[in-house]
Every structure is written in C-alpha cells, then in structure tokens.
Amino acid sequence: MTLEATTETTRDAAARAVDLRKSYGSGDSEVHALDGVSVEFERGAFTAIMGPSGSGKSTLMHCLAALDAPTAGRVVVDGTDVGSLNDKALTALRRERIGFVFQAFNLIPTLTARENILLPLDLAGTKPDKGWFDTVIEAVGLADRLGHRPAQMSGGQQQRVACARALASRPAIVFADEPTGNLDSASGAEVLAFLRRSVDEFGQTVVMVTHDAIAASYCDRVIFLADGLIVDELDRPTRDDILAHMTALQDAALKTKAATDGTGT
C-alpha cells in the first residue's frame, strides 16, 4: 500500500495501531504478546477481536485503550498519538475519549448506579450532558435502578451500569474485554443489544474481545489474533462463518504445538 493510500484510509479511524509490539520478560523467557499488529477501527463500527487464549487480545486492547504502554509501535486514538502524551494528558484522554467495559464489571460497591456512571465525569471535573445521560440510561434500561448499589443488582444490570459508565463521556471509542464472559446468555444478549444500539443509533465506536461466536455475530467485523499477530478478518460475519474460522485457527494451533512437541524439546 502506498503512503498516500495509508493516509487516506486512516484519516477518520477512531483508533489505530501501527506495527504494535509488546514483549514480557527477557532472554529465553521473553514472550511476544504482540508481534507487529497494525489495525484500524472505523468510526461508527462494532468490531470483535477473537483468538485462542494467550493470543494477545487483552494486551492489544489495553495498549489501544492507553491502559498499558507498548514496547514498540504507535497507537493513535481520535487523532491523538498516545505515545506523545504526558501523564496528565494521558489521564484526560482515558477519561474523556475512551470508555472501557471489563469482564468483572469493576463498579465501586459503595456508590449507586448513578454515581458509578457519573464517576469518570466527576473525576474529570465535567458535568454530564443531560440529554445524553438520559438517552444512555433509557437505552440501557436502567431508569428505575439509578439509586441501587451494585450488590442490589443482577450481574446483567451491573454490566449495563458499566456500559453506561463507559458511554457517559460520549467517548470516541469504547473497548470491552469479554463483557459477557460473566453473564448468563439472556443478560449477555441485553448487553450486546445495547452495544449494538449504541453503534447504530448513537454512532458510537465499539471494540470487543470475545470468545463467543454468538457475541461476535453482533459485530460488523471480526479480527482474529494468533500468537500476537492478526491472522484473519471477516466482514459482516454470520455465527457459522465465525465458528468455522475459530475451528480452523484452533486446528492450526494444535498442529503447530504437535510439531513443536515432536521435535523432542
């Protein structure tokens, strides 16, 4: 691809990674969690990241969300080169332009749903946009739960609070790491429907790590990671397309492992 073409396609990405590398440890025990990942996330799209356990999904997402620093390569979020920021600017970027949803909800137990949702804005010293707050609360179905603390809510309700919190600042991009991993399928479907709606109706950009082909089938695009590299991609996939790709990748990984084990090491 020419430089011109690269510039053209990356201009309006919500986030992108360029030749991203992340290593842990050193010498014989060095692990290349990311081994040169370049990817961009178009605005207003819902993307899934899939791949076997240990393939680098969480590392990629943490680097993209500026929660972790890469060993090499660049991350650009909403037009800002993350590596160029000092700590203060990085904190502001995380609070104002990035939303994050964790598998384990990560709500503050002593705060009500409303207080949890508004916490990032409070920390940033900004007031919520009333219209946007009401829109998000309505969409996530929490209007009658705003005074409840996390312990008074089901897992599905807690994760919907976490989704509302991620969206409260109207961020440029929302990252979700296995957001349905701790939920039963009905609660998971509610969370996925909300994320889908936030993209379709509110123009949000969402990137989600998932193991689940049903969850990934809510997405516009699926990216497959293996051994720290993007190995495949699907656009507008069906659940069957996704399952077939997952099976092929698992088989390839098992063959590689068998070949490695067979060398007598």
Ligand X SMILES: Nc1ncnc2c1ncn2[C@@H]1O[C@H](COP(=O)(O)OP(=O)(O)O)[C@@H](O)[C@H]1O
| Neighbour order of strands in the sheet with 31-42 | 31-42, 13-24, 72-77, 80-81
* In contact, 148 and 112? CB cutoff 8 Å: yes
Which residue number, 53 or 263, has a Cβ lying nearer to Mg ion? 53
Binding partner of residue 51 among Mg ion, ligand X, none, CB under 5 to 8 Å per kind? ligand X
Q: Output the 3-class SS for 7-38.
A: HHHHCCEEEEEEEEEEEECCHHHCEEEEEEEE
Cβ 175 to Mg ion, closest distance in Å? 12
Binding partner of residue 55 among Mg ion, ligand X, none, CB under 5 to 8 Å per kind? ligand X
From its phi and psi, is residue 44 left (phi > 0), alpha (psi between -120 and 50) or beta? left
Cβ 219 to Mg ion, closest distance in Å? 17
- 90 binds ligand X per the rule CB under 6 A: no
- 58 binds Mg ion per the rule CB under 5 A: yes
Query: Quick count: other Cβ atoms within 10 Å of Cβ 74?
Result: 15
Cβ 47 to ligand X, closest distance in Å? 15
- 59 binds ligand X per the rule CB under 6 A: yes
- 51 binds ligand X per the rule CB under 6 A: yes
State the Cα–Cα distance between residues 29 and 31, nearest whole angstrom.
6
Q: How far is CA 111 from CA 64, 72, 128, in A?
A: 28, 38, 17
- 169 binds Mg ion per the rule CB under 5 A: no
User: CB under 5 A: which stretch of 41-49, 56-64, 164-172, 211-219 binds Mg ion?
Assistant: 56-64
Q: Which of 16, 57, 94, 221 binds ligand X (CB under 6 A)?
A: 57
Cβ 71 to ligand X, closest distance in Å? 12
